[in-house]
Structure 1
Amino acid sequence: MRTRRVLTTPAERAVHATLHTASLAARPLRRGVDEESAVAAAPHLRVLTGAAALGIADRDGGLLAWDGPYRDLADQFVAAARRAVDGGRRVLISNPTGNDPAVRAVVAQPLLIDGSGVVGVLGVVTTVAPGPGTLAAVTEVARYACSQIELAELDASRARLDRAEVRALRAQISPHFIYNALGTIASFVRTDPDRARELILEFADFTRYSFRSAGEFTVLSEELRNIDRYLTLERARFGNALQVRLQVAPEVLNVVLPFLALQPLVENAVRHGLSGNSDGGTVSIVAADEGTDCVISVEDDGVGMDPELLRSGALDAVVTDTAKPGTSESAHVGLANVDDRLRAAFGNDYGLVVETAPGAGTKVSMRVPKFRAGVRA
Structure 2
Amino acid sequence: MPDSPLVSAAAIAVIALAIAVVIAVGLKVLRSFRDLGTDAERATYKTLHAASRAGQHLRTGLNPAGAGKASRQLRGLLGCDGFAITDTTGVLAWDGAAEELRPVLMEVAATVLAGGHTAVIPAGELRAPGGRSPAGAPGAGYAAVIAPIRVGSGVAGVVAAFAPEAGSGLVRATGEVADWVATQVELAELDASRTLLMEAEVRALRAQISPHFIYNSLNAIASFINTDPVRARELVVEFADFTRYSFRRHGDFTTLAEELRCIDRYLLLERARFGERVQVSLRIAPEVLSTVIPFLSLQPLVENAVRHGLEAKEGPGHISITANDSGAFAEVTIEDDGVGMDPDQLRSVLAGHSGGDHVGLHNVDARLRQVYGEDNGLVIETAPGEGTLITLRVPKSQPRHDA
Question: Highest CA radius of gyration, 1 or 2?
Answer: 2
Q: Measured at CA, do residues 315 and 281 of structure 1 come closer, stay the same or move farther in structure 2, by a change above 3 Å?
A: farther
Query: Contact 2:319 / 2:335 at 8 angstroms: preserved in 1?
Result: yes
Cα separation, 2, equivalents of 1:317 and 1:66: 50
Q: How far 1:43 moved relative to its partner?
A: 1.3
| Contact 1:265-1:333 within 8 A present in 2 as well | no
Distance 1:159 1:276 in 2: 36
* Partner SS, residue 334 of structure 1: helix
Q: 1:85 aligns with which of 105, 113, 131?
A: 113
Q: Deviations over 1:22-55 (max 9, x none)?
A: 1222121112111111211111111112211112
Runs of 5+ in structure 2 lacking a partner?
1-22, 126-132
Q: 2:389 aligns with which of 363, 371, 376?
A: 363
Deviation of 1:313 after TM superposition, in Å, equals 4.9
Give the equivalent residue in structure 2 for 1:347: 373
1:335 to 2:361 alignment = yes
Distance 1:304 1:224 in 2: 23
Query: Would the alpha carbon gap of residues 48 and 352 (structure 1) be closer, same or farther in structure 2, given more than 3 Å must change?
Result: same
Equivalent residue for 1:127?
Answer: 164
Q: What is the distance in 1 between the residues matched to 2:379 and 2:121?
A: 61
- Residue 360 of structure 1 aligns to a residue whose secondary structure is coil
C-alpha distance in structure 2 between counterparts of 1:273 and 1:340, whole Å: 21
Q: Residue 108 of structure 1: SS of its match in structure 2? A: strand
Per the normalisation by structure 1, the TM-score is: 0.90
Q: 1:155 deviation in Å?
A: 1.1
Q: Residue 110 and residue 207 in structure 1: after superposition, are their counterparts in 2 closer, same or farther (change >3 A)?
A: same
Q: 1:321: which partner in 2?
A: none
Which of 270, 275, 295 is the equivalent residue of 1:239?
Answer: 275
Q: Deviations over 1:256-291 (max 9, x none)?
A: 111111111111111244344332211111112222
Alignment check: 8 A CA contact 1:217 1:256 kept: yes
Matched residue SS, 1:56: strand
2:321 aligned to which of 264, 269, 285: 285
Q: How many angstroms apart in 2 are the aligned matches of 1:37 and 1:221?
A: 35
Cα distance, 1:89–1:273 mapped onto 2, change above 3 Å: closer
Note if contact 1:346-1:372 (Cα within 8 Å) is conserved in structure 2: no
CA shift at 1:216, angstroms? 0.8
Query: What code does the residue aligned with 2:151 have?
Result: I
1:36 aligned onto 2:62: no
SS in 2 for 1:201: helix
SS at match of 1:261: coil
Aligned amino acid, residue 385 of structure 2: G
Q: 2-side partners of 1:109 and 1:243: how far apart? A: 66
1:151 aligns with 2:187: yes
Superposed CA deviations along residues 290-339 of structure 1, whole A, max 9, x for unmatched, are 22222111111111121222244557677xxxxxxxxxx95444101101
Alignment of 1:311-326 (within 5 A): 311-314=347-350
Match of 1:23 among 52, 65, 68: 52
Range with greater deviation from structure 2 (92-101 or 5-14): 92-101
- Percent of aligned pairs sharing the same letter: 52
With over 3 angstroms needed to count, the CA separation of the structure-2 counterparts of 1:347 and 1:153, relative to structure 1, is same
RMSD of aligned residue pairs (Cα, Å): 2.3
How far residue 373 of structure 1 moved from its aligned partner, in angstroms, is 3.4
Q: Is the 8 A contact 1:287 1:296 kept in 2?
A: yes
Structure 2 residue aligned with 1:254:
290
Are the equivalent residues in 2 in contact too, given 1:122–1:142 (CA < 8 A)?
Answer: yes
**Residues 161-214 of structure 1: per-residue CA shift (max 9 Å, x gap):** 111111111112262322111111111111111111111111111111111111
Q: Which residue of 2 is the match for residue 300 of structure 1?
A: 336
Distance 1:16 1:246 in 2: 51
* 2:92 counterpart (64, 76, 95): 64
Asked if the contact 2:304–2:358 (Cα under 8 Å) also holds between the matched residues in 1, the reply is: no
The residue type paired with residue 118 of structure 1 is V
Task: Specify which structure has the higher proportion of helix.
Answer: 2
Deviations 1:318-374 (A, max 9, x none): 7xxxxxxxxxx9544410110111111122332111111221111111111212332
- Checking the alignment, whether the CA contact within 8 Å between 1:316 and 1:334 is kept in structure 2 is no
- State how many pairs are aligned: 364
Segments of structure 1 that go 5 or more residues without pairing to the other structure are 319-328
Q: Tell me, what secondary structure is at the counterpart of 1:92?
A: strand
